[in-house]
Structure 1
């Protein structure tokens, strides 16, 4: 097992009605930015609960954060924070809203061009505190310090991470997920699944506990994900999916093990250039990447297939083939298509994707740094 440090500062308030506990977690002098997306929270009752939470507290609302939050929109929120001298951000929504809150929190007092935080890794020394009310389990953003933002003007989707922007608390009420559209449920499960894979499907380093944690989350998503589609108001199912998605990327399962975020990095370019949903890009890239990297990942692919999908028949190559197919079939079962052609993309679009990877410095991806532009092209061609 590799050396690591681990600290998770986010207090999780999990369960029905737990938003009532959040008020005592707000600063006494809170001047709040209430941040949310397209307005679905006003139709499903979450907004009313949030207003009850904020009763007696000064706040300003900012809505319209996109599913892939854009620099252009978020900078409007930054200006609101600065002009009203707000000192706390309450993000109500899924990972995109929470990611957006993290950028706003970092940019509000940043002395420089805020995009440099993402594009150049510019350091910042302070950030506004954030609380989260989760309505879409998927990204794990509610209990980590990671954020991804899209710059529409330059067609770039970039990420940054810092403990300074990790939420201080997160409300996880499974009831808030009952009204999610089927597409978002499927996307969320796929997103969480791939988060686990990126920390698990590399090479062995004698970390059996981390492996079992990861396998348990994967098995939970495989079991409960389809149920969430079939019985959308089953509290226990929703609770299991919500907690699995949070555990997938709160930092725990990635400690002491190598990680491979190539699927995400290649997928980001599909969103930046063609506007695909994040989970759609992951479902396209991962099976092809598993095939292209099958020798480098051989031991863990066999372990994955045997332990998670119970694939034990055939020789090693048969097990790997069946494992890749089982992964692809699971994504399809969740309603997320797995081919570029499913999204009307073809061979001509691969050149654009490769050019953007090169422009963004994504030329040595994977746990071994061996996914160069040629290998990325191979992966995308396999995904056609």
Structure 2
């Protein structure tokens, strides 16, 4: 059964490859094979099938369109999912903090954890209840606003209003669906940033001085997906509760003992901190230690993705503002001064650009 699972993941990776190359029919065929090997639905396959079917004509499109009728269980949703969607939609009227279910004093880590939990719960591939897509958009908008310091400060002062130039009073409401992130990144883009889908090309800061890496084969693609899938499985466990790891990427009063990742199959030399008793519980068992260090690797990659995403957003904001401002030189200098070290580390450790 585990061999079938590995084969299913390989088929999904190949389906992604053929989709990028424009071979939609081959992508659809591999999607079907991946789910047969997995013995049911497989995360990410529905999204690939939808993307391939959207622009595939003839028999392939008709087959993809008829698939929901053949498998009605995939379109089902539970009463709990319906209530959860209604709760998010209702919270929208109270603001972004209410949508994410956090206090106004929440720090960056709490914002990330709240978004990560809700995004997995309301993603269209996971939740098919009525208006679930609207709830997913609300969650993405809330995260995009509160995860950026400047946008959060503006939101705390004016809410969804825009101030008059040079004045401290609101001017007008933003149009529905607009705001600080509608013209920058879609909810799906932000989700992909967190869970391994990469960045949309129009938002990537080009670095012309670096040569493009050689194309990856399916083994490399599957290897990159494994830690992210592991993280998702952890978060879906325990009735959807957030995973509370026995380590921290930062030194705290509780996590004060420094360690570096050393387990086989884990990116080496990632610094993390553990509490008293960690060695007795985990380090003496090679398998248990390897599991924890896989969690460290996944958490570190998510941390770098978030930091790189935030830096690129700020760079894009300054660059766009400079195009129409008499302070163009100053704004471009501020854009070039933004710390992109998280992006560099993300590429160095995980090969993600």
Higher strand share: 1
On whether the aligned pair clears a TM of 0.5, the verdict is no
**Considering only CA atoms, is the larger Rg found in Structure 1 or Structure 2?**
2
Higher RCO (CA < 8 A, seq sep 6+): 1
TM-score, structure 2 normalization: 0.29
